[in-house]
Amino acid sequence: MLAYMIRRLVILLLSLFLAAIVLFVLLRLLPGDPANALVGVGATPEQIAAAQAQLGSDQPLAAQFVKYLRDIVQLDLGNSFVSRASVLDEISRRLSVTLPLTLASFVLALLIAVPFGILAAVKSDRWYGLLLSVVSQVGIAVPVFWLGILLVYEFSLNLRWLPSGGFPLRGYADPARAVQSMILPVLTISIVMSASLMRYVRAATLEVLGSDFLRTARALGESHTGALMRHGIRNGAVPVISVLGIELSTAFLGAVVVEQVFSLPGMGSMLLLGIQQRDYPSIQGVLIVSTLLVLMTGFLADLLQRVLDPRLRQGGKQ
Amino acid sequence: MSTASTAFPRRSKRINITFWLGLVLVGGISLAGILSLFWTPYALSDMAGGRLEAPNASHWAGTDRLGRDMFTQLMIGARIALIVGCGAVGIGAAIGVTTGLLAAFATRFLDDALAAFMDILIAFPTLLVAMLVVAAREESSLGTAILALGIGVSPIIARITRILTKQVLGQDYIIAARVSGTSWGAIVFWHILPNIVPFLAVNLALQFGLAVMAEASLSYLGLGAPPPNASWGHMLHEAQGTVYTAPWGAILPGLALFALVIGINLLADGLRDRFDPSRRDM
Amino acid sequence: MADLLTVSGLSLKTADKLLVEDLSFSIGQGERFGLIGESGSGKSLTSFAILGLLPASIRPTGSITLGGEQIVGASERRLSSLRGDAVACVFQEPLTALDPLMPLGRQIAGPVRRRLKREGIDSSRAAVKREVRVLMEQVRLPDPQRLFDAYPHEVSGGQRQRVAIAMALACQPRLLIADEPTTALDVTTQAEIVQLINALVADLGISLLFISHDLAVVGQVAERVMVMRNGRPVEIGTAQQVLTKPHDDYTRNLVAAARRFDAALEGGA
């Protein structure tokens, strides 16, 4: 297990390194010199040269890359061109919206998907079991931003139950309004996500239901429910956990889009704003932190799966 | 017996229904997209109607806030969606299938390295990278989005190609062909491709749906191509502000996108059942 | 004394197919009965019918009585109390028949705990563990200390099948069904497992329903045998008579084929 963890950690670091290279290249591919964006239109050549010196973009690429890596390792993401504020501070402020949104959606999606996915499999011969699998099949094709708009139309504009968007200026210091403005975004993401999770849960449950070891348990006197509890949950969980990492990342990316629907001040809107304003440090910061979060999630999901499945543990030692 | 045991896979008529339903949805949207090349009810920029008209006899899907015909836009959106899907999947398959085959045939070390590289790329937040690539151009164009999404889906296609190829390579008939001196090129062409294409096709169909959805997200975020290459995502972007007065403007483009994606998924499911009934429930 | 298991006029059908037709046989207390047939002959389905574990799509008609209880049409509740108590089963493929994520000791402990509870004896953790150890010794599992915490993929096929037998014995059933228990094993291990089943059944006075396509193996175990083909009974009689002087053409072919095979093996050796 330890050997595997080390190996997996090396892979994680390699992925991060690779991601850093990709982002570095992509950002250098952006048209124009960031220095131009820093000083604005109509600047004198001297001003541009000064800005280039300040940003280091007059240095050779290799030197720029080393500085870039060193900054990332030191968690120094620079300052925004537009607001001059620290990008890291801005990101942590924005994460306080995006992370709760992502996690709440993820948990709600699990709470919907696990019981209904199991039900869809166990009762696959009944009309409601069939209906559940059809619903999940349909649900994965729903565009998340479209669902958001429809929910706003119905619950904010027609029924006037909830705010159509925005986030209280005082943030969580105004808990009632903060929660209110999160309800629709969370629902939006979790509905779409639970549909795809439900398919995995259903498939895993069907696999367990058809398994020989469940039959063995029942042939030796265990009740159907008892056998499912004793053998089914763990065996069913392993394949589901392998997709949870990806699903959590999907929820995070969904949040980026859904923030736009509900005008939430999260990571997604920061990235979009950064792109519109050519605010390179902000763009770079958001992408680095997002990639870090996504890769870490995958890492944790892999470890969890190892803990549950002894066959994988053994494979890791070899 | 009341408790169902599913030890025996059942094949039902439902398979055919999903397949045909998928074909009808995808076929209908494709026809509308192709037709838009030759005929649309109005010209795209023709402000032929009043502002935000509800669907009526002369504007089947209503009009937008400038009085332009929505049905025309929907038809053109269908064309854009097809171009995006085919383009992205085409690029993705060109890169992915080549890399996948290469990895499967490569030495152990190169194979491991490529496989690890694919896994890393798959973990990448494709949409974010696509946002950046699209933003990298001063003027967002359809071509950039297609390229970005094509590159985005290629590692998944590569991984699947690699796995499928390795499965086929382990079969006795390949070993027999090798022993009898068949060249590698002939093995790939006559034995491997015919065996992996059905399963690959299913996966490419799913990637098609993902690419169309991702492009719509980009356009919805305002990063898509401007008219005349505007997609359904762009229409949603435009319609959101007037959703209270003109809900159909937001409902119809989303519905079209939803119908195309679900149609593709159903087709893929139907195909998979044809090729491999044992994996019906995955 | 009445027979332990009586199957009479049993038919199994799906919506459009007849899988087993008009099957009748009985097994007495302590008797060892063999069911022979090629794959697809319906022998495994018959064992599922006796366990009351048929898939929902297969409908049984006729009668199966086990220790005086009717199984065809019985409620799931009734059936689940019969399973383990009256009948237990060992299946063909021990790798998939065991839970891949549970240590072997805990898997054996499951049926042990159920039986102790049923009999109202001390079912504390320690008592269960003690009983598991006894069972592991009974099926001659080496190094029980290590195997107790091992997972199925970590032990050999023969050891897995011994664990499966231990689990079945843990129930102390009156009838043990062994459904092709040796087919997935290599020849040497096969012989050991057959010996083990024989010895245990004799020691504990359990009735045995031994299902196999392999005439030689059935011949080592069963006192009486029935041959099935395409879901229908072909011939029934003592093992001695059926395997040496078969009446039916099909059985005769089977026996002749098995003999030729043996002869070829010996000739080649």
User: Which ranges of A40-86 would DSSP assign to H, the alpha helix?
Assistant: 45-55, 61-73
Does residue C141 fall inside a structural domain?
A: no
Pick the residue with more confidence: A264 or B271? A264
Taking the alpha carbons of B17, B23, B26, B32 in that order, is the dihedral positive or negative? negative
Q: Is C171 on the interface with A (CB under 8 A)?
A: yes
**Closest-CA distance of chain A to residue B178, Å:** 30
Q: Parallel, antiparallel, or unpaired for β C87-90 and C175-179? A: parallel
Does residue C228 fall inside a structural domain?
A: yes
- Of A100, A148, A139, the C-alpha closest to A116 is A139
pLDDT score recorded for residue A52: 74
Show me where the domains of chain A are located. 88-317
Lowest mean pLDDT among B15-29, B58-72, C105-119: B58-72
pLDDT score recorded for residue A194: 93
- Of A270, A299, A250, A280, the C-alpha closest to A95 is A270
Region C86-113 average pLDDT:
89
Does residue C160 fall inside a structural domain?
A: no
- Tell me, rounded to whole angstroms, the distance of Cα B207 from its chain centroid: 4
Map residue C8 onto helix, strand or coil: strand
Which CATH fold topology does A88-317 show?
MetI-like fold (1.10.3720)
CB atoms within 10 A of CB B99: 20
Task: Give A 172-231 residues with CB within 8 A of chain B.
Answer: 202-203, 206-207, 209-210, 215, 224
Is the distance from CB of B124 to CB of A19 less than 8 angstroms?
A: yes
Cis ω before B228 (30° cut-off from 0): yes
Contact A311 C151 (CB under 8 A): yes
Task: Tell me how many domains chain C contains.
Answer: 1
- Residues sharing a CB contact under 8 Å with residue A140, sequence separation 6 or more, in sequence order: A192, A195, A196, A199, B265
pLDDT score recorded for residue B91: 95
Is the distance from CB of B68 to CB of B46 less than 8 angstroms?
A: yes
Q: How confident is the model at residue C167 (pLDDT cuts 50, 70, 90)?
A: very high
User: pLDDT per residue over C61-81, tens digit each?
Assistant: 999 998 888 988 888 888 888
d(CA A45, CA A33): 13
Q: Which H helix or E strand runs over A93?
A: helix A87-122
Please give the C-alpha separations between residue A105 and each of A289, A297, B149, B199, C204, in angstroms, as whole numbers. 20, 15, 26, 33, 58
Does residue B160 fall inside a structural domain?
A: yes
Q: Which H helix or E strand runs over A155?
A: none
pLDDT score recorded for residue B27: 94
Task: Tell me how many domains chain B contains.
Answer: 1
Find the closest chain B residue to C60 by CA distance.
B1
- Of A286, A190, A197, the C-alpha closest to A240 is A197
CA atoms within 13 A on the CB side of A166: 9
Residue in C14, C53, C96, C99 to test binding to A, most A beta-carbons within 10 Å: C99
| Chains adjacent to B (≥3 CB pairs closer than 8 angstroms) | A, C
Map residue A210 onto helix, strand or coil: coil
Does residue C111 fall inside a structural domain?
A: no
Region C156-177 average pLDDT:
91
d(CA A202, CA B281): 8
Beta bridge partners of C178: C90, C210
d(CA C102, CA C111): 14
Is the distance from CB of B7 to CB of A215 less than 8 angstroms?
A: yes
Contact C153 A314 (CB under 8 A): yes
Q: What residue numbers bound the domain in which C57 lies?
A: 3-95+174-268
- Whether the per-residue pLDDT at C269 is higher than 50: the answer is no
User: pLDDT per residue over A142-191, tens digit each?
Assistant: 999 999 999 988 888 888 888 877 788 777 878 888 888 889 999 999 99
CA atoms within 13 A on the CB side of A49: 3
Is the distance from CB of B191 to CB of B173 less than 8 angstroms?
A: yes
Contact C56 B4 (CB under 8 A): yes
| B2, B6, B8 ranked by CB distance to C76: nearest | B2
Find the closest chain A residue to C107 by CA distance.
A217
Tokens for A90, please give them.
């801005």
Residues of chain A predicted below pLDDT 70? 1, 29-42, 314-318
pLDDT score recorded for residue B7: 38
CB atoms within 10 A of CB C134: 14
The CATH number linked to C263 is 3.40.50.300
Please give the C-alpha separations between residue A81 and each of A37, A214, A272, B194, B196, in angstroms, as whole numbers. 8, 61, 15, 55, 51
User: pLDDT per residue over C198-242, tens digit each?
Assistant: 999 888 889 999 998 888 888 888 999 999 888 888 888 888 888
**Closest-CA distance of chain C to residue B8, Å:** 7
Residue in A123, A207, A213, A317 to test binding to C, most C beta-carbons within 10 Å: A213
The CATH number linked to B202 is 1.10.3720.10
Q: How confident is the model at residue B6 (pLDDT cuts 50, 70, 90)?
A: very low
- What ipTM goes with this model? 0.86
Contact C89 A220 (CB under 8 A): yes
Does residue C166 fall inside a structural domain?
A: no
Does residue C134 fall inside a structural domain?
A: no
Find the closest chain C residue to A224 by CA distance.
C80
Does residue B58 fall inside a structural domain?
A: no
Map residue C36 onto helix, strand or coil: strand
Taking the alpha carbons of B7, B13, B18, B19 in that order, is the dihedral positive or negative? positive
Contact B7 A210 (CB under 8 A): yes
| C80, C101, C154 ranked by CB distance to A234: nearest | C101
| A220, A231, A238 ranked by CB distance to C168: nearest | A220
**Closest-CA distance of chain C to residue B281, Å:** 18
Q: What residue numbers bound the domain in which B107 lies?
A: 14-34+68-277
d(CA A68, CA A34): 14
Does residue B3 fall inside a structural domain?
A: no
User: pLDDT per residue over C121-142, tens digit each?
Assistant: 888 888 999 999 999 988 888 8
- Of A188, A195, A97, the C-alpha closest to A146 is A188
- Of B272, B205, B260, the C-alpha closest to B21 is B260
Residue in C12, C44, C57, C76 to test binding to B, most B beta-carbons within 10 Å: C57
Map residue B239 onto helix, strand or coil: helix
| Chains adjacent to C (≥3 CB pairs closer than 8 angstroms) | A, B
| A143, A271, A275 ranked by CB distance to B216: nearest | A143
User: pLDDT per residue over B102-134, tens digit each?
Assistant: 888 888 888 878 887 787 777 666 677 677 777
d(CA A280, CA A38): 9
- Of A285, A249, A107, the C-alpha closest to A182 is A107
Contact B4 C55 (CB under 8 A): yes
One-letter identity of residue A260 = Q
Q: What is the residue whose two structure tokens read 């031994």?
A: C210
Tokens for B100, please give them.
């996948």
The DSSP 8-state label assigned to residue B102 in this structure reads H
- Whether the per-residue pLDDT at B93 is higher than 90: the answer is yes
Lowest mean pLDDT among A98-102, B29-33, C22-26, C263-267: C263-267
Region C178-201 average pLDDT:
87
Q: Is C136 on the interface with A (CB under 8 A)?
A: no
Please give the biggest Cα pair distance in chain B: 74
